[in-house]
Amino acid sequence: MELTDGKYQIQGLNVEEIADTFGTPLYVYDADKIQAQYDRLKAAFSGEHVKIKYACKSLSNLSVLKLLKKMGSELDCVSIQEVKLGLTAGFTPSQILYTPNCVSFQEIEEAVKLGVTINLDNISLLEQFGNTFNHTVPVCIRLNPHIMAGGNKKISTGHADSKFGISIYQMAHIERVVKTYNIQVEGLHMHTGSDILDAEVFLRGAEILFDAARHFNDLRFIDFGSGFKVAYKENDITTDIEDLGEKLTAAFKEFCKSYGKPLEMWFEPGKFLVSEAGVFLTRTNVVKTTPATVFAGVDSGLNHLIRPMMYDAYHEILNVSKTAGTKRVYTVVGYICETDTFGLDRPMHEIKEGDILAFKNAGAYAFSMASNYNSRLRPAEVLVYQGQAHLVREREEFEDLLKHQVALDFK
């Protein structure tokens, strides 16, 4: 979203007009930005053995999945439902990595039947898997490297107290299980969480994976996860993808040389690909002044965008309807019967009731975490592709709330 001639635009389309056409609240995604991020990542980790597995959980809209497939991306899924979404979008089973957490073994068996790559993150499931499939079905193992990524434990998954992955200190146990059941291990995986800034932190995790990989002779790939930080505000510090790509590619090539054969290098970015491509449009319902605060209350809430409340996430908020003039300080809040504060004490161009407010960085973990709390309806989604705005998810209607309810008749 860019400010051109006093109007915010996406691919030349007026953002206010998009809001008027499709209504608010509304998620809008810029296909050009997704393409640019994908191209940047591919260039940073260039080579014939690099595979990008888009993290479906960040934004699972079917049209977005099909767009990424067209770009050449493969898919990372964390539930059997995401796997089925991926297959519906046209991904082949061989292009899908399935990395569940705390699921039943029945779900694992269903994924095996669908033919996708299985990635297990606890020893109990690994034992059940080996007992059921022996060497007939290859498997990937997710390791916890015990590295704290970023500075926010809410979005870090590789620290010692995380529920994700098998501790690297349990390598001897893993080896015993693999040997006992003759399990064919084809890959190793780690994901330390979001907002990785320092290439050296990522490289430490890579070295841990390289050491672990030497315990397995028949690997096909190593999956380094993702967690690359994007900008949330002006002049924000971000992951230097080019620097990381150069250093990690060199380390990987050196490892493959000592391993004795070239392996595939996998990544599973979500936020990096789609976060900055998304903007969330809301309409101001009320401007309310109290003795201490001026509130701008919008036609949305934590039911549509929970990241600020759940992760203390920062989203830049802009008044799309007024792009010049004096700025005042507002606290932007939602219409949910909870404390759903989107932004505290934000300097913004003067807001009037009816103005369109835009939340930036709303492409990842935004609509995909939306709910019907307070019996509110989930918003529509629009994808701007080749200069046209396409509706890719209809706005919910009241009947959708009743669709799966069974009302008893009390007489």
Please list the active-site residues.
337
CA atoms within 13 A on the CB side of 4: 10
User: Residue 283's closest CA among 82, 7, 3, 20?
Assistant: 20
CA–CA distance, 206 with 222 (Å, rounded to integer): 9
User: Residue 187's closest CA among 124, 277, 97?
Assistant: 97
Query: Are the C-beta atoms of 73 and 52 separated by less than 8 Å?
Result: yes
Query: Are the C-beta atoms of 111 and 155 separated by less than 8 Å?
Result: no
Tokens of 85: 């979404």
Query: Are the C-beta atoms of 366 and 280 separated by less than 8 Å?
Result: yes
CA atoms within 13 A on the CB side of 252: 24
Strands 317-319 and 294-298: unpaired
